[in-house]
């Protein structure tokens, strides 16, 4: 029997759901997968989230392309679900629909001054430097000497690193051209990453902390007393991850100071109270154990987590799709960050998607045989797998000429042009 499954979104959890379906195929059940993506390019956060100076993490895209090479896989990129085509229409036509739309909206602090020019979310800044077409034109005020990043997770770390790297180090990466040139003109020299709790509660992971020691042109500064006090608070038998993080932070705190003109500073127990300024950000006030402290700065980037954006016809609550173990309602399922919230690394989505797909398959009865998305598309220009391959190859070829793994096209029309559309 042939079942048709629509997957909405083309990021890691979408591909892992397709892979899990593929793995469950046998003589009795074949799965034809249509993956639908609103951007002209697939790969989700692997293209627009992962930091450009982390090329190894992006090699998972080879797995995605292998999954896409299955003859029963079709890509429908540049097609948005929720506006012209509804989830309900997909649900009528397909045996199952899997929502894999991630969490694209940055959580907000909810403090005064958050709307000032110069205060923004990592949910805008990260796709901007990663060449996401919707963020190409946002303005990032890099004309100040000090920037602040709020949050103690890996996104905060990526953002702080991108702001404080010597920008020529990005020449050999797939950072958007517009971002490399903005970083080269940037006046920012001090970047403060601030955590509202102590180092023992930081959400950074230790490989990311250890990597900071390898920065060749940036000082990395943590106060030794912060780490020593955290070690005491963590007690004799801290969890493995906490110990590993504290060990990595102790190494940073102990490392000899250098004279680079760029510095990354880490401040703990700094709870944001108010962003101040008249026409633009001029500083941020924190509540700390020693009283209120102000850091003068011209840019504040919050990296305090994400929430899913809603799609019509799919119930949402607390930034996630309402679901029970991945089942939403009827033949609709959800995987990845849209299901469980923004946690875990890319690989976490593999086991998560496999479990949801098992549930999905157990709920199948007779195939519907009731059409597919091509009945609904109309005049929309679709980037299918071969058009995407043309885009992919053109970007990689353009990168090769200048010593980069790829040179990304940014604007939708440029991407479509590369796809021959």
Q: Which residues bind ligand NAP (CB under 6 A)?
A: 54, 109, 150-156, 158, 195-197, 201, 203, 205, 208, 272, 303-306, 342-345
Q: Shortest distance, CB of residue 212 to ligand NAP, whole angstroms? A: 12
* Nearest by Cα to 92 from 378, 374, 368: 368
Q: Give the separation between CA 13 and CA 351, rounded to whole angstroms.
A: 10
CA angle 293, 301, 166 (to 5 degrees): 100
Closer to ligand NAP by CB, 137 or 351: give it.
351
Pairing of strands 291-296, 283-288: antiparallel
Closer to ligand NAP by CB, 72 or 206: give it.
206
Cβ neighbours around 40 below 10 Å, total:
25
Closer to ligand NAP by CB, 151 or 326: give it.
151
The DSSP H or E segment spanning 243 is helix 240-254
Exposure class string for 339-364: b at 16+ Cβ within 10 A, else e? bbbbeeebebbbebbbebbeebbeeb
Cβ neighbours around 409 below 10 Å, total:
23
What contacts 290, CB < 8 A, 6 or more positions away?
none
Closer to ligand NAP by CB, 168 or 343: give it.
343
What is the DSSP secondary-structure string of 99-143?
E-----EEP----TTTTSBTEEEHHHHHHHHTT-GGGTT------
Q: Give the separation between CA 384 and CA 99, rounded to whole angstroms.
A: 19
Q: Shortest distance, CB of residue 223 to ligand NAP, whole angstroms? A: 18
CA angle 333, 337, 338 (to 5 degrees): 45
Q: Shortest distance, CB of residue 405 to ligand NAP, whole angstroms? A: 17
Closer to ligand NAP by CB, 196 or 280: give it.
196
Closer to ligand NAP by CB, 195 or 353: give it.
195
Q: Give the separation between CA 302 and CA 35, rounded to whole angstroms.
A: 32
Closer to ligand NAP by CB, 346 or 394: give it.
346
What contacts 225, CB < 8 A, 6 or more positions away?
none
* Nearest by Cα to 11 from 36, 32, 42, 40: 42
Q: Shortest distance, CB of residue 158 to ligand NAP, whole angstroms? A: 5
Q: Shortest distance, CB of residue 407 to ligand NAP, whole angstroms? A: 23
Q: Shortest distance, CB of residue 379 to ligand NAP, whole angstroms? A: 37
Indicate if the alpha-carbon torsion angle 96, 101, 103, 106 is positive or negative. negative
Q: Shortest distance, CB of residue 83 to ligand NAP, whole angstroms? A: 27
* Residue nearest ligand NAP (C-beta atom): 153
Closer to ligand NAP by CB, 30 or 105: give it.
105
Q: Shortest distance, CB of residue 58 to ligand NAP, whole angstroms? A: 11
Q: Shortest distance, CB of residue 112 to ligand NAP, whole angstroms? A: 14
Closer to ligand NAP by CB, 55 or 399: give it.
55
What is the DSSP secondary-structure string of 62-73?
HHHHHHHTSTTE
């Amino acid at each position: 029997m042939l079942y048709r499954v629509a997957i909405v979104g083309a990021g890691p959890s979408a591909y892992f759901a397709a892979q899990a379906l593929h793995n469950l195929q046998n003589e009795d059940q074949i799965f034809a997968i249509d993956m639908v993506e609103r951007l002209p390019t697939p790969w989700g956060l692997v293209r627009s989230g992962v930091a450009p100076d982390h090329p190894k993490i992006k090699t998972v895209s080879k797995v995605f392309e292998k999954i896409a090479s299955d003859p029963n896989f079709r890509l429908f990129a540049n097609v948005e679900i929720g506006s012209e085509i509804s989830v309900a229409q997909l649900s009528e036509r397909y045996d199952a629909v899997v929502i894999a739309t991630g969490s694209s909206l940055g959580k907000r602090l909810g403090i005064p001054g958050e709307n000032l020019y110069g205060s923004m979310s990592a949910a805008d800044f990260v796709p901007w430097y990663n060449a996401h077409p919707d963020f190409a034109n946002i303005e990032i005020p890099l004309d100040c000497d000090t920037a602040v990043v709020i949050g103690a997770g890996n996104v905060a770390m990526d953002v702080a690193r991108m702001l404080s790297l010597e920008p020529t180090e990005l020449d050999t990466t797939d950072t958007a051209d517009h971002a490399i040139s903005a970083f080269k003109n940037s006046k920012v020299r001090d970047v403060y990453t601030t955590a509202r709790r102590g180092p023992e509660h930081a959400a950074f992971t230790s490989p990311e902390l250890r990597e900071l020691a390898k920065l060749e042109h940036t000082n990395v500064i943590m106060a030794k007393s912060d780490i020593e006090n955290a070690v005491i608070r963590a007690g004799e038998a801290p969890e493995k991850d906490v110990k590993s993080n504290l060990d990595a932070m102790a190494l940073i705190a102990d490392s000899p100071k250098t004279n680079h003109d760029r510095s990354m500073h880490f401040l703990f127990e700094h709870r944001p109270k108010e962003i101040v300024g008249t026409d633009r950000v001029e500083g941020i006030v924190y509540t700390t154990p020693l009283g209120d402290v102000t850091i003068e700065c011209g840019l504040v980037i919050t990296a305090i987590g994400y929430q899913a954006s809603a799609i019509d016809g799919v119930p949402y609550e607390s930034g996630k799709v309402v679901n029970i173990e991945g089942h939403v309602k009827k033949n609709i399922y959800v995987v990845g960050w849209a299901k469980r919230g923004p946690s875990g690394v890319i690989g976490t989505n593999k086991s998560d998607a496999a479990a949801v797909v098992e549930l999905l398959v157990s709920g199948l009865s007779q195939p519907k045989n009731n059409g597919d998305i091509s009945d609904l598309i109309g005049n929309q220009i679709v980037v299918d797998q071969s058009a995407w391959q043309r885009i992919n190859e053109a970007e990689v070829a353009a990168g090769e000429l200048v010593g980069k793994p790829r040179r990304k096209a940014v604007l939708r029309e440029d991407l479509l042009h590369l796809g021959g559309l």
